[in-house]
Amino acid sequence: MTKTNTLILIEHDRQQVKRPSLHAVTAAQQLGGDYSLLLLGSAVGEMAKSLLGYGAASLLVADHAELAEPLADRYALVIADAFQKCGATTLLGTSSTFSKDILPRAAALLDAPMLTDVMTIEGNGNSFTRPINAGSMIATVQLGSERRVLSIRASAFAAPTGNTAVSPIEQLAVDAALLPNGMQFVSREERISDRPDLTEARVVVGGGRPLKDKETFDRLVGGLADALGGAIGATRAAVDTGLAPNDYQIGQTGKVIAPDLYIALGISGAIQHLAGIKDSRVIIAINKDPDAPIFQMATYALVGDVHQVVPELIEALRDRE
Ligand SMILES: Cc1cc2nc3c(=O)[nH]c(=O)nc-3n(C[C@H](O)[C@H](O)[C@H](O)COP(=O)(O)OP(=O)(O)OC[C@H]3O[C@@H](n4cnc5c(N)ncnc54)[C@H](O)[C@@H]3O)c2cc1C
């Protein structure tokens, strides 16, 4: 197997690679040395072809029916095995629900320290910055171990530029008899939506507690998102009160986004929510309280009632089409 310095875990939705996970390629380039990509799943041959132009020393593919679902105990074992076989010293992924489930297990199997949410790589690849305290402080951390597991914030690293060289594919043998059976896949509930993925969207509309009920949330937040071709997000208060599903949550305990435009509707601007939106290029906030903390971070502030302003905004955008 081709030797490498950094092994990058690629994330996908069984159809295509999730673009934020490719930002780890840029991080690997900053770390220096060779890097290889690792793709796990079942019948991922077509997807593998889309990963050949990123300058990797190799593309390792673990393709097996028993890996069809990302069960963390199985994936961690296969990842740790691949890591050891290719002689890597850094296992690299992108901060996401998927990597939060899997990478710590791989780190435990490798007996390696793990650092999450890395924002910058400094000091010849030995020093890292990451947010702490809901993003209100930035810590600089050095790892004293030769082996390490890192997850990066995709929004903090640029998308990789394509490379004309074609990486060789290396198939990883998967022995189903050795895979752990501690977890069983039961079912998956998926929302089929034409809207872009929250972490990849260029425009995101977020809704807060004053959206009152699910119907109003869908009509105002969903309506404005659709008028702009954007994704929907929500505060934890909106999720906890049942206005929006859990995977819409943005913030410290939700998703971290970095769209070109974030529109906050009836959102106070709690530090835990701001932790998820602060890398947005432009923030428009609509809130009826002129002293709402969100206005301190907003690029444009509109003091008004979302129930009145947002329908007018949606209508104006539709008239423009
Ligand atoms: C450990 C921890 C982790 C957390 N993680 C997260 C997280 O990941 N994400 C997150 O979002 N929160 C998180 N929270 C919760 C966070 O502290 C806030 O409670 C939450 O973000 C508030 O949501 P909100 O802005 O929707 O609601 P509120 O704080 O109730 O604010 C509603 C805002 O809407 C305005 N408003 C009211 N009516 C109208 C109207 N008609 N028109 C316009 N504006 C109106 C009000 O002026 C107010 O500013 C966390 C909390 C803790 C303790």
Structural domains in the chain, CATH included, are 6-178 (3.40.50.620), 203-320 (3.40.50.1220)
pTM for this predicted structure: 0.86
pLDDT grade, residue 163 (50/70/90)?
A: confident
Ligand 1 site, residue 209, Cβ cutoff 6 A: yes
Atom of ligand 1 nearest to the CA of 238: 26
Q: What is the pLDDT of residues 92-140, one digit of tens each?
A: 999 998 999 999 999 999 999 999 999 999 988 889 999 998 788 999 9
CA of 310 to the centre of ligand 1 (A): 18
pLDDT grade, residue 273 (50/70/90)?
A: very high
Ligand 1 site, residue 307, Cβ cutoff 6 A: yes
Per-residue pLDDT averaged across 71-85, rounded?
98
Ligand 1 site, residue 231, Cβ cutoff 6 A: no
Q: What is the pLDDT of residues 148-157, one digit of tens each?
A: 999 999 989 9
Q: What is the pLDDT of residue 165?
A: 86
Q: What whole-number distance in Å separates Cα of residue 271 and Cα of residue 293? A: 9
Which residue has a Cα nearest atom 34 of ligand 1? Answer: 266
Q: What whole-number distance in Å separates Cα of residue 282 and Cα of residue 265? A: 14
Which residue has a Cα nearest atom 26 of ligand 1? Answer: 208
Measure Cα distances from 72 to 4, 27, 244 in Å. 24, 24, 27
Q: What is the pLDDT of residue 134?
A: 79
Ligand 1 site, residue 246, Cβ cutoff 6 A: no
Ligand 1 site, residue 208, Cβ cutoff 6 A: yes
Per-residue pLDDT averaged across 286-308, rounded?
98
Q: What is the pLDDT of residues 208-234, one digit of tens each?
A: 999 999 999 999 999 999 999 999 999
Residue of 185, 211, 204, 177 lying closest to 284 (CA atoms):
204
Q: What is the pLDDT of residue 140?
A: 97
Ligand 1 site, residue 264, Cβ cutoff 6 A: no
CA of 290 to the centre of ligand 1 (A): 15
45-49, 114-118, 120-124, 295-299: range with lowest mean pLDDT = 120-124
* Residue 251 DSSP symbol: S
Given a contact cutoff of 8 angstroms between Cβ atoms, the answer to whether 312 and 319 are in contact is no
CA of 234 to the centre of ligand 1 (A): 9
Phi, psi of 267 (to 5 degrees): -120, 130
Atom of ligand 1 nearest to the CA of 306: 42
Phi, psi of 105 (to 5 degrees): -70, -40
pLDDT grade, residue 161 (50/70/90)?
A: confident
Q: What is the mean pLDDT of the chain?
A: 95
Residue 272: count other Cβ atoms within 10 Å of its Cβ.
16
Are β-strands 90-94 and 148-152 bridged in parallel, bridged antiparallel, or unpaired? parallel
Atom of ligand 1 nearest to the CA of 208: 26
* Residue 56 DSSP symbol: -
Q: What is the pLDDT of residue 319?
A: 84
Provide the total of helices (H) and of strands (E) in the chain, helices listed first.
Answer: 10, 15
Atom of ligand 1 nearest to the CA of 305: 42
pLDDT grade, residue 309 (50/70/90)?
A: very high
Q: What is the pLDDT of residue 71?
A: 97
